[in-house]
Structure 1
Amino acid sequence: MSKQFALFGHPVTHTLSPRIHRAFARDLGIDMEYRAVDTAPDDFKAALDRFAEAGGVGGNVTLPLKEAAFGLCADLSPAARRAQSVNTLIRTDHGWHGENTDGAGLVRDLTDRHRLDLRGRRTLLLGAGGAARGVAPALLEAGIDKMVVVNRSAERADRLVDLLDAPGRVASRYWEDLEALGDFELVINATSATRHGGALKLPFGLASPRFVVVDLNYGEAAAPFLSWGRAAKAEAAIDGLGMLVEQAAEAFQRWHGRRPDTDDLYASLRAEHARLQTAD
């Protein structure tokens, strides 16, 4: 019987994760089943319990459940504990073991695929939820200079800064302060605002001469922010497709002990995305 894996989130209708993991399994000759489970936050624990009772051995977690998953794990990796956010689950005899591969996936995509040198970049992180928590520690470890966290709920931004525990390198600011923050060499959108047709109104004064924008979303949800970045003369405007593939490969390795090659799959998904944009 194939081992059972799943992605938990809400909504997950258009997720690429099942396709990605099935491709990895096919390439490496691993017998597994991977499906998407749409569950609202109030039902997440029950859905996870049902999955475990049915023989589920591993899973991924996406918005808006990453912080809830943190609280449901029996033990945690150092990355998940530091982020207090979980995107990868492994079933053990003691319950769920939680990991966070978002940060490793983002840094690998930016540095290996896009050849972006993160060292010394003054960074603006938009958002303070599970996605932001997952990537912030890895960005600091990759050598960015100072990070400013801005979130519509200032309290959540403050909590993330406290969690990172990097005095002098990380600070929180109000969303209303964006006009007065100066310029940045890296601006990352970790919010979900544009997933539901919303918009991010950002000043062009955030752009420095050495300026890159990164959206952790991909597809239509990333388009408004990346369009702003291009209008602000960004050297590069990068969506979250590569991060999605790389964090999935990190999770796959933790489940199976083998890391799949990602280049061909990423190229295929990127070409398909380009065709869809041309068709529109």
Structure 2
Amino acid sequence: MGKLFGLIGHPVSHSMSPSMHNDAFRNLDVDHHYQAFDVKEEDLEAAISGIRALGIKGFNVTIPHKVNVMKFLDEVEEEAKLIGAVNTVVNKDGKLIGYNTDGEGYLQSLLKVTGQELQQMKTLIIGAGGAARAVFTVLSKYGVSELDIANRTNEKAAILASECNCGQADVEVLSIEEAGERLNEYDLIINTTSVGMSPHTDHLPIHLKNLKKAAVVSDLIYNPLKTKLLLEAEGKGATILNGVGMFVEQGALAFEKWTGVAPDRHEMENIVLKQLGGF
């Protein structure tokens, strides 16, 4: 009999993870199944107990449980502790171990665009929430030497920089307005906020008036596939990257942790793009 894997979050009806993972299981000719479970915040502890009782072998964690789930696990690996969130859990002989594949997933998608030049790219991260922590942590760890943060509140950005700078990058905390004025200094701009996500597609997280033509502009959003930020950046000659690659890579890394097998990432991406309505 196959093994059961899953996703917990609220809501989860929109999730593309079941299609992506179940297709990967079929391609490997294994009788496993991935199921999304809608779990309200007040039911999280009971849900984790249920996962233990049912012997579910691994699961993903999405909003709003990525932080709170940590207190119900037996072990959390170091990078997930640093980020302060878990998105992947492995059931190892009844022991629930938490990981965060978001940062590494983003890094793998980004390197396909930047190559090894990434370490020398002066980088601006927009936002200071959970996604920003994952991105900042992995880029700092990778050795990006200049890694600035622009956020509506300086205090939250400063906390992020002090807690997640494991690579000792040079960091400056800026307001969104200051960053916009100095945008021509940056080789790489990364939006980690939800500004521009459907249905509010006419919004921009930062103005691109001072964007330099050779820059790379990355948006973690994948719905729409091209946000207003990416459309404007592309119009100015910049290289752009949406959030599909990060979503696929973080899922593939979770799949590897559960099964020990690398899935077909190209096929996973095709599944996601098909569901999003474009290639």
Q: TM-score, normalised by structure 1?
A: 0.85
> 2:123 and 2:155 mapped to 1: Cα distance?
20
Alpha carbons of 1:192 and 1:69: their partners in 2 closer, same or farther (altered >3 Å)? farther
Measured after TM superposition, the shift of residue 154 of structure 1 is 3.4
Task: Verify: 1:246 aligned to 2:249, yes or no.
Answer: yes
| Unpaired stretches in structure 1, ≥5 consecutive residues | none
For 1:212, the equivalent position in structure 2 comes to 216
Q: Contact between 1:66 and 1:86, CA under 8 Å: does it hold in 2?
A: yes
Equivalent residue, structure 2, for 1:19: 19
1:252 Cα deviation after fit: 0.9
> In structure 2, what is the Cα distance between the partners aligned to 1:139 and 1:8?
27
Q: Deviations along 1:178-197, whole A, 9 cap, x unmatched?
A: 33444311111111233463
Distance 1:220 1:28, change over 3 A: same
TM superposition shift of 1:230: 2.1
2-structure distance, mates of 1:251, 1:61: 11
Instruction: Pick the aligned partner of 2:204 from 197, 200, 204.
Output: 200
Alignment of 1:1-280 (within 5 A): 1-92=1-92, 95-112=95-112, 114=113, 116=115, 117-165=117-165, 166-183=167-184, 184-195=186-197, 197-198=199-200, 199-205=203-209, 207-220=211-224, 223-234=227-238, 236-267=239-270, 269-270=272-273, 272=274, 276-277=277-278
User: Is the Cα contact below 8 Å between 1:126 and 1:187 reproduced in 2?
Assistant: yes
Change (3 A) 1:178 1:65: farther
Task: Output the CA distance in 2 between the equivalents of 1:195 and 1:42.
Answer: 27
Question: Structure 2: which amino acid aligns with 1:174?
Answer: S
- 1:71 and 1:175 map into 2 onto residues whose CA distance is 34
SS in 2 for 1:148: strand
Which digits, 9 at most, give the CA deviation of each residue in 1:81-106, with x for residues without a partner?
A: 22222111112457421111112212
The root-mean-square deviation of aligned C-alpha atoms, in Å, is: 2.6
What do the CA deviations read for 1:150-189 (whole angstroms, capped 9, x no partner)?
2334333222111113555223333343334443111111
Determine the C-alpha separation between the residues in 2 that align with 1:172 and 1:106: 22
8 Å Cα contact 2:20-2:272 kept in structure 1: no
Give the partner amino acid of 1:87: N
Q: Is the 8 A contact 1:124 1:188 kept in 2?
A: yes
- Quote the Cα distance in structure 1 between the aligned partners of 2:69 and 2:235: 37
Are the equivalent residues in 2 in contact too, given 1:108–1:246 (CA < 8 A)? Answer: yes
The 10-residue stretch of structure 1 (223-232 or 58-67) with the greater mean CA deviation from structure 2? 223-232
Distance 1:42 1:163, change over 3 A: farther
Aligned in 2, Cα 1:159/1:42: closer, same or farther, shift over 3 Å?
Answer: farther
Instruction: Say which SS state the counterpart of residue 150 (structure 2) adopts.
Output: strand
Residues 226 and 43 (structure 1), Cα distance of their counterparts in 2 relative to 1, 3 Å cut = farther
In the TM superposition, what is the alpha-carbon distance from 1:273 to its structure 2 partner?
6.2
Identity %: 31
Q: CA deviation at 1:261?
A: 2.4
So what's the TM-score if we normalise by structure 2?
0.85
Which of 129-138 and 196-205 deviates more? 196-205
> How many Å separate the matches in 1 of 2:70 and 2:120?
31
SS in 1 for 2:224: helix
Does the C-alpha gap of structure 1 residues 226 and 182 become closer, same or farther in structure 2, counting only changes over 3 Å?
Answer: closer
Partners of 1:178 and 1:203 within 8 A in 2? no
Q: CA deviation at 1:120?
A: 0.9
Question: Please, which runs of 5 or more residues in structure 2 have no aligned partner?
Answer: none
Which amino acid is 2:253 matched to?
E
- Structure 2 vs 1, CA of residues 171 and 40 (structure 1 numbering), >3 Å: closer, same or farther? farther
Q: Which moved more, 1:179-188 or 1:14-23?
A: 179-188
Equivalent pairs, count = 274
| Partners of 2:63 and 2:210 in 1: CA distance | 27
8 Å Cα contact 2:6-2:34 kept in structure 1: yes
